[in-house]
Structure 1
Amino acid sequence: MLRWILGGLAALVVIILIAAHGPGALRAYKFEPTAPDPALMALYETVAEPVLREVPNLHGAEDLEPGPDGRLYASLADGRIMAREIDGGWSEFANTNGRPLGLAFAPDGALFVADALKGLLRLEDDGAFDVWLADESEGGPLVFTDDLTVLSDGAVILTDASRRYGYGEYMTSLLEGEQTGVIYKVTGPDQYEVLADGFGFINGVDHDPSTGRVFVNETWAGRVISLDPGTGDYAVLIDGLPGYPDNLAFDEETGLIWIALPSQRSPQIESLHPNPFLKRLAWRWIQIAGLPPFPPRPVMGMALNAEGEPVHALYGPDNAPFGVTTVTPWRGQIWVAGLERDGVDAYAVPEAIQ
């Protein structure tokens, strides 16, 4: 009898080890982000309604970017880049024929695009896109080209969200807790250097033109960092965010940093991060039963001052299947849209946090 019991236990151990490390196993990593700060979540109490909703064939506006011509630009899921006139009305401005994500204008007015399928692109005067840094599918170094900002000297600060997973695979990146995101400094076609790396899905980026300081969202870590673009040195600006930060927009008029939070944090997934072995076993269960329920994904945004202190909290309805990936100030209102949402909404600026 004892032999049968020991044999059964040995078989069970073998099954568990195969489940955790066998073919198709999750390459899980230990990851210990700061837990969400309850004081920050408490800022989201009163639900505001948008003052304007626009859905003129605008699906998947992952980023919104004010242009030097006064118009508002949006990057859509079908490859188009749209422009909104000040008085209303959207029109096609360009098309990457890929998946444009982050948009940024250079000091000379040129549009740069972080295209998740093609890489870092620059729109030329003839309407064609010049590839400054290509996706790995085209022989370049980029895997998940995500967002960018262009400094006063023309250098591009670019985020490659993950060196392991490309566009559409972000949930696997979160489950693994992998930290391979890279921040590049690009000074010309195929001229680049790594400023910093080892991030848990490095994402939205913008900068303060008056100081040159760069601000970047590290999504899975739930934090924002402040980066010196000359040295690559960085410090945490705010940690313990109540959601996973995505795009980031610096408002030159107010000096505030607006961050989009497309989803609240997942306690089920994050509870597994400290133990990769358990995470590998959970992955096998997920393959059978599916992902755990997604956390709430209302409209959420936060504005920080230069010290990382919250100044505004934008909280909108939870009536769409996907949250917002961009929260952008434009002409006295806060404009929001999302990677997988329909349309673009505008909100009144929330009252300042007391």
Structure 2
Amino acid sequence: MSLTVFPVPGDGAEDVLVAELGEYAGFAYTGTDDGSLLRVSPDGRQIQRIGHTGGRPLGLEWLPDGRMLVCDARRGLLAVHPDTGDLEPLVTEVDGRPMRFCNNAAVVGDGTIYFSDSSATYGIDEWKRDFVEDTRTGRLLRRDATGQVSVLLEGLAFANGVALGPGEDYVAVAETAARTVVRLWLTGARAGERDHLAKDLPGYPDNIARGSDGLIWVSLASPTDPVVERIQRGPLPLRRLVTRIPERLQPKPKRTVRVHAYDDAGTLVHDLDVSTPDFHMVTGVREHRGRVWMGSLHEPAVAVLDL
């Protein structure tokens, strides 16, 4: 498998979204750590800045009205017009308290938004502390078509990627620190039940997304780290102590390029594991008509793999 890397003018192209229709069909969109939103042509030769959030954009999705939904870690849930850059805040606080770490989302046809708040304790600049301390203060939330916000799940171990079932009968959310993808059933006889789409993953899941192939694609930002696993099981004072030692001595994500794809029975359909020195820490994944686009929290680039 050969990975093609497209450099972009900004570090940390964390997620990736692909346009389905119109003049820019097949173009990929991403956001970087300086707040920029970028549009990248399918061959990587054209890159255009289409907007700026004033924060740190992470997960991206399309809204029914054609605007782009942006999960901004610092500003909350935003709607951005991809042609004008006009921005509208949709959710900045929940129950009267500002969101700490808006991360990823999935959108229903009627405009309902399911989205994650990774931590109620730490923001994005201290994501490692939340991960190592395993605060389990992540949440899955819903904003309905009227704008009403409700909390669906609490106590998640670093709530991250969000995706919907094929008939919008369930919503899945990645628990990065627990190496699972939790599923909450929304309709039918199992409505309200919680189970796992995937668990005991061989790495730490980040963003997830339903592809054009109907599968749920899961990015694995780093392989499982036995040291981190032991620390997470230790007493809280030890976990806190580890996050206070010098950065150079703290556990670090291992270099890897790996994504999984699961069907709705939780069966692993694809395990793409690419060895390359040119890209690492895949935090966003989007399958679109046989091409798998990837984003990274650290790389100044997006990458694409042809299936």
Whether these two folds match at TM > 0.5 is yes
- d(CA) in 2 for partners of 1:266, 1:250: 27
Residue matched to 1:329: 287
Larger radius of gyration: 1
Map 1:27-42 → 2, pairs under 5 A: none
Give the TM-score of the pair, scaled to structure 2. Answer: 0.87
Residue matched to 1:179: 136
Map 1:251-330 → 2, pairs under 5 A: 251-252=211-212, 254-276=213-235, 279-280=238-239, 283=242, 287=245, 291-319=249-277, 322-330=280-288
User: SS where residue 262 of structure 1 aligns?
Assistant: strand
Name the aligned partner's letter for residue 235 of structure 1.
D
Deviation at 1:177, TM superposition (A): 1.3
Residue matched to 1:57: 9
Structure in which a larger fraction of residues adopt strand = 2
Deviation at 1:270, TM superposition (A): 1.3
Residue matched to 1:7: none
Preserved CA contact (<8 Å) 1:149 1:157: yes
User: SS where residue 220 of structure 1 aligns?
Assistant: coil
Deviations 1:103-137 (A, max 9, x none): 1112232211101111101125864211111158x
Structure 1: gaps of 5 or more residues: 1-47, 350-354
- d(CA) in 2 for partners of 1:339, 1:307: 29
Structure 2: gaps of 5 or more residues: none
Deviations 1:15-72 (A, max 9, x none): xxxxxxxxxxxxxxxxxxxxxxxxxxxxxxxxx431x221142531111011243232
Preserved CA contact (<8 Å) 2:140 2:173: no
How many residues align? The count is 297
Name the aligned partner's letter for residue 66 of structure 1.
V
Matched, 1:67 2:19: yes
User: SS where residue 9 of structure 2 aligns?
Assistant: strand
RMSD: 2.5
Map 1:147-296 → 2, pairs under 5 A: 147-187=104-144, 191-229=148-186, 232-252=192-212, 254-276=213-235, 279-280=238-239, 283=242, 287=245, 291-296=249-254
- d(CA) in 1 for partners of 2:120, 2:33: 22
- d(CA) in 2 for partners of 1:66, 1:145: 21
Name the aligned partner's letter for residue 254 of structure 2.
P
Give the TM-score of the pair, scaled to structure 1. Answer: 0.77
Preserved CA contact (<8 Å) 1:215 1:226: yes
User: SS where residue 185 of structure 1 aligns?
Assistant: strand
Structure in which a larger fraction of residues adopt helix = 1
User: SS where residue 57 of structure 1 aligns?
Assistant: coil
Name the aligned partner's letter for residue 69 of structure 2.
F
Deviations 1:289-331 (A, max 9, x none): 8534435221011111111111111112252584111122124
Name the aligned partner's letter for residue 270 of structure 1.
E
